[in-house]
Amino acid sequence: MRDHVLFRIAVLSIGIIAFLVAGCGSSAPSRFYTLSSLKPAGPAQMPSGENIKSIVRIGPVDIPDYLDRPQIVTRTSRNELSIAEFDRWGGSLKNDVSRVLIENISSTLAAGRVTVLPWKQYAPGAYRVPLTITRLDVTPGGNLYLQTQWSIIDKDGKTVTVIKESNISKPVNGTAYSVIVTAISDALADLGQEVAASIKSAIAKER
């Protein structure tokens, strides 16, 4: 009888341990996000003949090290960051920012027969626009601050014709990560508009 009781206790204990291990091993599913542009563009193509007016290569685009990770990073206080374990970027944030800027600037300049390409895609006689994002702080339910230093390098590949710093602030109307990603996309849209306006001015000076 005593052995039978001990056997039942052992079986029950094993069951409880297995349940606890299974519970500890399970986790919430990860959610993945991507930035959106004003108007998604198709694959970049080189124009030819009379269809071409100017070519602009965007990049390289650099982002702060603390943002260059799979997890979405938000700011909780002046000196504290929050790294989301289950809310992540669908790919490289740096590449996604570059893609969105190229699409936004391309959409804005399309009517002016300006082709916008990634900086790695070589094109002779092209302007180049390198950008460094020095600050991208998002406080859920608070504000977003985007600070970017960028320049326009002339078609000779050497002369810097424009050096600027853009400071963009946006409200973050909620704490959900989908709202945070939308706010970042909106800020990049504003940045793209600023860059595109300067590119137009640089091209206009050719005349």
Check if CATH label 3.30.70.120 holds for domain 35-204: no
Predicted model pTM: 0.81
User: Which residues make Cβ contacts (< 8 Å) with residue 191, sequence separation at least 6?
Assistant: 101, 104, 146, 148, 166, 168
Q: 1: pLDDT confidence band, cut at 50, 70 and 90?
A: low
pLDDT of res. 142: 96
Q: 15: pLDDT confidence band, cut at 50, 70 and 90?
A: low
CA distance 199 to 107: 13
Q: 188: pLDDT confidence band, cut at 50, 70 and 90?
A: very high
- Assess whether pLDDT exceeds 70 at residue 50: no
- Assess whether pLDDT exceeds 50 at residue 21: no
More confident residue, 127 or 39: 127
Q: Which of 88, 44, 48, 51 is nearest to 68 (CA)?
A: 88
- Assess whether pLDDT exceeds 90 at residue 78: no
The pLDDT of 171-175, averaged and rounded, is 96
The pLDDT of 184-189, averaged and rounded, is 98
Domain range summary for the chain, segments of one domain joined by +: 35-204
Give me the DSSP letters along 73-105. EEEEETTEEEEEEEEEESS-HHHHHHHHHHHHH
- Assess whether pLDDT exceeds 50 at residue 7: no
pLDDT of res. 46: 43
The pLDDT of 36-63, averaged and rounded, is 72
The pLDDT of 1-24, averaged and rounded, is 49
